[in-house]
Each structure stands twice: as structure tokens, then as C-alpha cells.
Amino acid sequence: MKAITWHGKQDVRLADVPDPAIVNPHDAIVRVTTTAICGSDLHLYNGFIPAMKPGDVLGHEFMGEVVSTGPACEKVKIGDRVVVMCSIACGRCWFCKKQEFSACDNTNPSASSVAVEVAYGHAGAGIFGYSHLYGGYAGGQAQYVRVPFADVGCLAVPPELTDEQALFLGDIFPTGYMAAENCNIEPGDTVAVFGAGPVGQFAMKSAMLLGAERVIAIDSVPARLKLAADQGAIVIDELHGDVLRRLDDLTGGRGPDACIDAVGLEAHGRGIQNAYDRMKQALRLESDRPMALRSAIMAVRKGGTVSIPGVYGGFVDKFPMGAAFGKGLTMKMGQTKFHKYAPTLLARVQAREVDPSFVITHRVGLDDLPAAYRMFNNKEDGCIKVIAHLT
Ligand SMILES: [Zn+2]
Ligand SMILES: [Zn+2]
């Protein structure tokens, strides 16, 4: 079959790889009909996540048709049209029973490795197409994919919804939603979202659904700011003026009630601190550049919440702990509990409260994905979200 494979920094290729097969009785094989490039795939593309091996199949946002099932599958059936949760959960362990699916104890065989223990203490669940730190599972930017614990990870898609309306239930919609829910939004609240990429856009949409009075988007990419404004957000272009001062001005000097860091480890931006971070990153003294996180902590009001859906992979420097303590902040973060949120969000999509396809800017074929990675990485052509339809 054809698949998109990783070969090194900024080197992804369309390749012929062996078809996946049922390995475990709980597996299913899904023929992919639509897949996408996630912002977090760019962390792999740019070589920020260790433990990738040449030839690894990428992709954790995908949906399609079940074409084969293992003997222990009870729910999923051949012919089902499903969207697959991007992290893999067994549904039976101590964590899964508490609905802490992203902490599943049974799906990340890398969890006991020394590297993972040193980096994380306890590792989370496996993730499709996301390095050997997360189990080394082949991803869904491919014609077929093996889905472990398919009864738990597959969500049936009703026929009235298109692939484009359902695809994002496997990752970025629940991620944006949990980020907003973590803000404990109350009537009258102002929520500032750093990073207006796809997850940031879903965080904004979700903050509005959850009753935020005002949502403020901070980014520097014109297409992203325009999409945020189209959603009804107030926008701040971080290239023009001081972001923290603008946020103070908009909130009577108090600061937003909650700030969401939808940027994560690879933050760009200007300033001497960032140059210093980049140097330390190059020397492997620091792995992540927490520019947006620092700004979120400094901007948020006293007693406010900082919610972090942006992915971090290792260590950060110059974390403003004094500000976080002095302001009495609540901070919430982590891999999304996709399995918990996706069914209720599917109901919202069915009720026409939201059409998740609003973030899509580019539609290509599987063969075009290597070029699309480049375009997405360089934010060319107004690119916010690329999906690939497979025929
Ligand atoms: Zn993702
Ligand atoms: Zn589990």
C-alpha cells in the first residue's frame, strides 16, 4: 500500500510499504478515506520529537471504513464507517476506567524504556504515527491502518455527516474543546487563545460554545487571524504592538480570565529570550521553546487559569514560576481524553451547533502530502489545515 513515511528532518515521502495485518484479536484494519496533517506532525517533520525511525508511517488524524476485524472485536463490524481516536486506549485498565484514556497503561510499549522514564516519569498512551516514544504505531496517512483496541478507538460516523465534518473528532476538535473546558468558563469571561492554528480555532469555537463572553485570538499569520475574526474573536496581531499591553487594555487592566497556549513546544516569535532559547535548543540544553506559555502566564488575571493543549515534549527554561505562584494560577494541560469527548462533540456536530470543516483550507490527495507538509510548515498560501481525500 501507499503511505507517507518519515526519513529525517523535513524529509517525508510517499512510499510503498507492506499492508497492515491483524496482530491482536482486538485489532481492526481501516481503509482510510480521509486523513489530515496535524500541527503536531510538524514537530516530527522538524525533528523535535526523538525516537523516530526512517520509514515510520506518519499520521494520527484519519477516518475510513473497517475492512477487517480481529476475533475479539464485538462492537466494530466490517463495513462500519468510523473516525479513529488518535491516541490508543485499552478501555479496561485503571486509567481507562476513570476515563483518563490518554493515560492508558496498556498501549504504550515504550513506557518502560529508560528514555521515556527519564523524560516523563510515567508515560502516556500510545499514539498513531507519533514516534517510538508513543509506541511506534504506524499512522493513518496511508491507504490502510491497523487500529488496536478497535472497539474502544473507533467512533461510528452517521451517514448524514461528511468525512470533512467528522474527521476532526479524532483529534483537534476534542483537543480544542478540552482546552476550553479546562478554563472553567463562567458567564462574562474573557478567554485569550495564543495560537490561532487549527487547535486554537477549535479552542475558540469551544470557548464560545461554553459561554465565554469574549474570545481573543493572538497570532501573526494573517489567514489565521482572519479565520478567528470570522468566528467572532477579537484578534491581536503579535507583530504589531505589545500583546500583554493590548490584553490589559481589553480587560480594564485585569487580564483575561483564562489563557490557552495552543502553540506548544515549537513556538516562534521574536526577542532576545527566544534567540537564547533557540541557542539552548540547538545545544540540547533545552528541548522546548515556551514563548506562548510564558506570555499566557504573564497575561492571565490573578486567580485565572492557564490551559495548555499545545504539545510539549521535554524541558523548558525560564518558566515564570514566581508569576504563576504570585497570581495563584490554575494550570491544566495534557493529552486530550479523545475517547471521552468525541461522542458528545459528535452529537453537537449532528445538531448543527458546529461544522468542524470550517478550518480546512487545503484539500489534496495522498500523493500530494509531502508537498503539503512543506506548505503547511512554511504557512504558505494561507494554509491553516490540510486534509487528504483518498480514493
Ligand atoms: Zn494532532
Ligand atoms: Zn487503558
For residue range 337-360, list pLDDT tens digits in order: 999 999 999 999 999 999 999 999
153: Cβ contacts below 8 Å, ≥ 6 apart: 84, 85, 88, 89, 147, 339
- The separation between CA 96 and the C-alpha centre of its own chain, rounded to angstroms, equals 20
Query: In angstroms, what is the span from residue 103 Cα to ligand 2's centroid?
Result: 7
Ligand nearest the Cα atom of residue 96: 2
Tell me, in angstroms, the distance from the centre of ligand 1 to residue 188's CA.
Answer: 30
pLDDT for the residue numbered 18: 98
* Spacing, Cα 100 to ligand 2 middle (Å): 8
| pLDDT at residue 163 in the model | 98
DSSP 309-363: -S---S--SS--HHHHHHTT-EEEE-S--HHHHHHHHHHHHHTTS--GGGG--EE
Of the listed ligands, the closest to the CA of 111 is 2
Q: What is the pLDDT of residue 361?
A: 97
Ligand nearest to the CA of 38: 1
pLDDT band at 50 (very low <50, low <70, confident <90, very high): confident
pLDDT bin (cut points 50, 70, 90) of residue 48 is confident
Does pLDDT of 383 surpass 90? yes
In this prediction, residue 118 carries a pLDDT of: 66
**What is the CA(106)–ligand 2 centre distance, in A?**
5
245 CA from centroid of ligand 1 (Å): 31
Question: Which string of DSSP letters, residue by residue, matches 124-161?
Answer: --EEBTS-GGGT-B--SSBSEEEETTHHHHEEE--TTS
Average pLDDT score over the chain = 93
Residue 310 Cα to ligand 1 middle (Å): 10
Provide the pLDDT confidence category of residue 279 given band limits of 50, 70 and 90. confident
Q: 39 near 171, Cβ under 8 Å?
A: no
pLDDT of 184 strictly over 70: yes
Tens-digit pLDDT profile for residues 366-382 = 999 999 999 999 989 99
126 CA from centroid of ligand 2 (Å): 10
Q: In this model, does residue 80 exceed pLDDT 80?
A: yes
Burial of 187 (0-12, 13-18, 19+ CB in 10 A): exposed
Q: Say whether pLDDT at 65 is over 90.
A: yes
Ligand 2 centroid, distance to 325 Cα (angstroms): 34
pLDDT of residue 269: 60
Q: Which contiguous run of DSSP H or E holds residue 308?
A: strand 305-308
Residue at 59: amino acid letter: G
The Å distance, Cα 123 to ligand 2 centre, comes to 12
Confidence of residue 268 (pLDDT cuts 50, 70, 90): low
Question: In this predicted structure, what is the pLDDT of residue 365?
Answer: 98
CA of 325 to the centre of ligand 1 (A): 30
What is the number of the ligand closest to the CA of 336? 1
Q: What does DSSP say about strands 214-219 and 190-194: parallel, antiparallel, or unpaired?
A: parallel
Cα–ligand 2 centroid distance for 26 (angstroms): 13
Report the relative pairing of strands 144-147 and 81-84 from DSSP bridges: unpaired
**pLDDT for res 273:** 65
Within 10 angstroms of residue 245's Cβ, the number of other Cβ atoms is 11
Instruction: Give per-residue pLDDT as tens, 120-169.
Output: 677 789 999 999 989 999 999 999 999 999 999 999 999 999 999 999 99
Determine the distance separating the centroid of ligand 1 and the alpha carbon of 232, expressed in angstroms. 24
Indicate which ligand has the atom closest to the C-alpha of 125.
Answer: 2
pLDDT at 271: 60
**C-alpha of residue 308 to centroid of ligand 1, in Å:** 14
- Give the closest ligand to the alpha carbon of residue 102: 2
Task: Count other Cβ atoms within 10 Å, centred on residue 199.
Answer: 30
pTM for the whole thing? Answer: 0.94
- What is the Å distance from ligand 1's center to 241 Cα? 31
Count CB-CB contacts under 10 A for residue 83: 28
